[in-house]
Structures are given as structure tokens and as C-alpha cells.
């Protein structure tokens, strides 16, 4: 059956630390998009019929949505604001995104995207009385850590 082999999205966590000490974990991640970004260089050489290709890693592009459950997400946003205004890393203030992929076979993969730097520090969407508030974030990192 085709429906038996899909992978559910779940088990995403934001881990926020400062100076190596864990400050808080945020688990109300509604959705996240993880995208390694490459640049492809193509070069044609004299005497060769086909071009040669080489890929170069650029960055990891991440977007995610959080449903605020407490002050932790607002405190994170405030620290990001202070970090951006000062231009410094505020005693190693770090936000890491980790998520699991649970395959129907029972195999698991854990992906960690460390030390996120934010281009969208969490706009708050309040769509109305019948919906939960959501904060959307966009960030980049220079690496990711797969654990299989």
C-alpha cells in the first residue's frame, strides 16, 4: 500500500544555549524546511565535447514555524535582536535546530543544524480568535550534522 511508506514530520527541537550551557528547549515546532544549497560550476574545455561540472557547498537554508508555548521563544527572539544590534555573538549565544526522521523500516536519522544565523527573527502571526499564534523564522548555517 502506498500510504504505508510515508515519513511523518515530528520530533523537532530548538536547543538554545549560551556559553555552552543549555538555556531552554523549544519543542512546539510546527514545521521546518531544511535545504542544503550548492552552486554548480560548469566549464567547457577545448577539445572536449561535454562540459565538466563541479558542485560547491554554499550553506544550509532553514525556515521553521513555532507555536509559542511560553516565554522561551520570545526570550530567544529578544536575544537574537540584541545579538544583531551589537554585531557580536553575546557570549556564544547559540540556537541549534535538531529533527528526527523516523522511517517505516524502523531506521532513524537525526539532523542537527548548529549555530543558526537569522534573516527573519520570528514575525508573530495572530490570525484570529480561532487559531493558534505562530512565529515564522528563517535562518542559515554553514554546516549540518547528520547522525544515522
Cβ of 18: how many Cβ atoms within 10 Å? 14
Confidence (pLDDT) at 1: 44
Instruction: Note the helical H segments in 58-104.
Output: 71-86
**What averages of pLDDT result for each successive group of 10 residues across the chain (148 residues)?**
61 88 90 95 94 96 92 91 81 88 87 94 86 93 95
Confidence (pLDDT) at 90: 62
Confidence (pLDDT) at 124: 87
Domain architecture of the chain: domains with CATH: 2-147 (2.40.30)
User: How many angstroms separate the Cα of 113 from the Cα of each of 1, 54, 128?
Assistant: 33, 24, 32
Amino acid at each position: 500500500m502506498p500510504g504505508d511508506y510515508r515519513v511523518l514530520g515530528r520530533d523537532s527541537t530548538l536547543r538554545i544555549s549560551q556559553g555552552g550551557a543549555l538555556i531552554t528547549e523549544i519543542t512546539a515546532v510546527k514545521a521546518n524546511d531544511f535545504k542544503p544549497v550548492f552552486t554548480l560550476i560548469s566549464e567547457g574545455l577545448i577539445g572536449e565535447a561535454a562540459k565538466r561540472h563541479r558542485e560547491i557547498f554554499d550553506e544550509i537554508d532553514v525556515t521553521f514555524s513555532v507555536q509559542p508555548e511560553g516565554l522561551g521563544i520570545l526570550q530567544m527572539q529578544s536575544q537574537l535582536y540584541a545579538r544583531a544590534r551589537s554585531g557580536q555573538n553575546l557570549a556564544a549565544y547559540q540556537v541549534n535546530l535538531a529533527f528526527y526522521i523516523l522511517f517505516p523500516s524502523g531506521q532513524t536519522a537525526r539532523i542537527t543544524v548548529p549555530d543558526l544565523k537569522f534573516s527573519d527573527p520570528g514575525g508573530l502571526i495572530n490570525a484570529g480568535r480561532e487559531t493558534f499564534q505562530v512565529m515564522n523564522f528563517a535562518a542559515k548555517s554553514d554546516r549540518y550534522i547528520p547522525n544515522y
